[in-house]
Structure 1
């Protein structure tokens, strides 16, 4: 037989599951806006590099910064 703590945990789990079910499901590679500048990522770039999160210009800057060791 359960006690008030078990009942509270079950109730909390019910509310948590209800809240989580309302969250949008993120689709892999669905990013279409650059995470740095908020510009749209060109469709050709997304097709060539589906996992990209940067537009071409920001990717060039990102690559330059990382190649220079900064």
Structure 2
């Protein structure tokens, strides 16, 4: 459920020696505060829209004959 897209990280290394193989690589980046709420808001609003549409469909009168 990616709402915007996936982040990509591209690394390029030249002349890397075997001494650094197997070491940990720590990547840090800034993440906007509101971006953390994007996915829960999308999921909540889509569920509310689904329930709303289901409610409206259930309220439709699809009977064939006249009401007495």
Q: TM-score, normalised by structure 1?
A: 0.30
Query: Which has the bigger relative contact order, CA under 8 A and spacing at least 6?
Result: 2
**More helix per residue:** 1
- If you compute each CA radius of gyration, which structure gives the higher value, 1 or 2? 2
